[in-house]
Amino acid sequence: MKIYFCGSIKGGRQLADRYARFISHMKSYGDVLTEHIGNADYGKGGYKPAEEVYRQDTAWLTESDVVVAEVTVPSLGVGYELAFAEKLRKPCLVIYDSELNNNISSMITGDDYFRCRCYKGETQAIQTIDEFLTEFTEDK
């Protein structure tokens, strides 16, 4: 399985360590195409050109089997990735930490295409991710 993980980069990196733990866990289900999202130092030396990021990320989204988005930290890029994934009809799980941010965009929570789930603590988040990814494993 190919998993596209979304998390804030330019919108704020305060959850990068959490993203890394989620990514590490998801790797037991398959390839996480966006492993760099969990690197707390990502972007400190600058970013790739915008056109290159767009081409790379849209190619990965097209190639992915599922999308998992952590939206606690608001990000225009993550919102765009979710809209792109919906257009491609990719299964999407959207998670957020309700203790840090319970004011997620209605454009995301109001779209019944997305499986939006709040969590309290990383253990609950990982359980939610497991439930979602288990649906799409080839062993079913």
pTM: 0.94
Please say whether the beta carbons of 34 and 5 come within 8 A: yes
In the numeric block, the tokens 């959207």 are attached to 94
Name the average pLDDT for the chain.
Answer: 94
Which pLDDT score is estimated for 43?
77
Kindly state the DSSP code that residue 113 receives in the 8-state scheme: T
Q: Which two tokens stand for residue 49?
A: 């050109």
Which pLDDT score is estimated for 140?
45
Average of per-residue pLDDT across 108-123 = 97
Domains (ranges, CATH) in the chain?
A: 2-135 (3.40.50.450)
Query: How confident is the model over 27-63, as pLDDT tens digits?
Result: 999 999 999 999 988 878 778 899 999 999 999 999 9
